[in-house]
């Protein structure tokens, strides 16, 4: 694949349609985008496969989290990366099925940090009952030296199914 095709594949074409690989630091940015894409895959697959190690490696030692639909509060709060990963995976384990789909990533770099906005759809099930939410997921990442999530903000805009299913599963953590 040519550098130009690779740039387009990563959604990184310049305003004139050219490849970011031709800009200073362009190849490095493509590598950064590839690593961030790996973190996004780890985020979804870590939860779906209940792989705590895979999910944990997505996060920095401290994560600023805002997830008012599930974890309460409209304000950001700081959570240890270990605590966040263990808590979220423990809740996910209470479902017989879980599917997280992360699409349409938009990445903006500022030095060694990146802001990523994507669409998340998460479906949870127990038997025939299900609960599905969807909306924008905003992530802040920093190169530490590998790319890690430092901020997570999930805004639920679409809800389907039995909310009590999730409440029962999450309520066991309280």
Q: What backbone phi and psi angles, to 5 degrees, belong to 152?
A: -135, 125
Query: What does the pLDDT look like over 33-80, one tens digit per residue?
Result: 999 999 999 999 999 999 999 999 999 999 999 987 766 667 899 999
- 174 pLDDT more than 50: no
3-171 topology per CATH: Nuclear Transport Factor 2; Chain: A, (3.10.450)
Predicted TM-score (pTM) of this structure: 0.81
Query: Which of 19-23, 124-128, 132-136 bottoms out in mean pLDDT, i.e. has the lowest?
Result: 19-23
Cα separation, 47 vs 32, in Å, equals 23
The first and second tokens of residue 130, run together, are 């299900």
- 18 pLDDT more than 80: no
CA distance between the termini of the chain: 51
The first and second tokens of residue 8, run together, are 């387009």
Question: What would the DSSP string read from start to end of 122-151?
Answer: EEEEETTEEEEEEEEEEEEEEESSSEEEEE
Spans of all domains in the chain: 3-171
- Please report the pLDDT score of residue 43 as a whole number: 97
β 147-154/59-66 pair status: parallel
pLDDT: which is higher, 72 or 154: 154
Half-sphere exposure of 156 (CA within 13 A, CB side): 17
- Please report the pLDDT score of residue 171 as a whole number: 64
Query: What does the pLDDT look like over 42-52, one tens digit per residue?
Result: 999 999 999 99
- Please report the pLDDT score of residue 169 as a whole number: 72
Cα separation, 121 vs 99, in Å, equals 8
CB 58 within 8 A of CB 39: yes
Query: What does the pLDDT look like over 103-112, one tens digit per residue?
Result: 999 999 998 9
Please state, rounded to an integer, the average pLDDT across all residues of the chain: 86
Tell me 14's DSSP state: -
- Please report the pLDDT score of residue 141 as a whole number: 98
């Amino acid at each position: 694949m040519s550098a130009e095709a690779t740039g387009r594949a990563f959604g990184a074409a310049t305003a004139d349609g050219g490849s970011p690989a031709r800009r200073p630091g362009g190849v490095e940015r493509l590598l950064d985008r590839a690593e961030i894409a790996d973190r996004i895959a780890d985020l979804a697959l870590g939860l779906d496969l209940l792989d705590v190690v895979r999910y944990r490696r997505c996060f920095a030692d401290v994560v600023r989290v805002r997830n008012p639909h599930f974890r309460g509060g409209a304000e950001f709060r700081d959570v240890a990366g270990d605590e966040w990963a263990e808590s979220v995976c423990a809740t996910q384990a209470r479902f017989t099925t879980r599917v997280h789909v992360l699409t349409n990533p938009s990445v903006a770099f500022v030095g060694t940090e990146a802001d990523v906005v994507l669409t998340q759809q998460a479906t949870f099930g127990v038997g025939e009952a299900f609960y599905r939410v969807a909306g924008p997921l905003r992530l802040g990442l920093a190169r530490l030296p590998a790319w890690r999530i430092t901020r997570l903000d999930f805004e639920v805009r679409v809800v389907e199914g039995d909310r009590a299913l999730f409440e029962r599963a999450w309520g066991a953590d309280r």
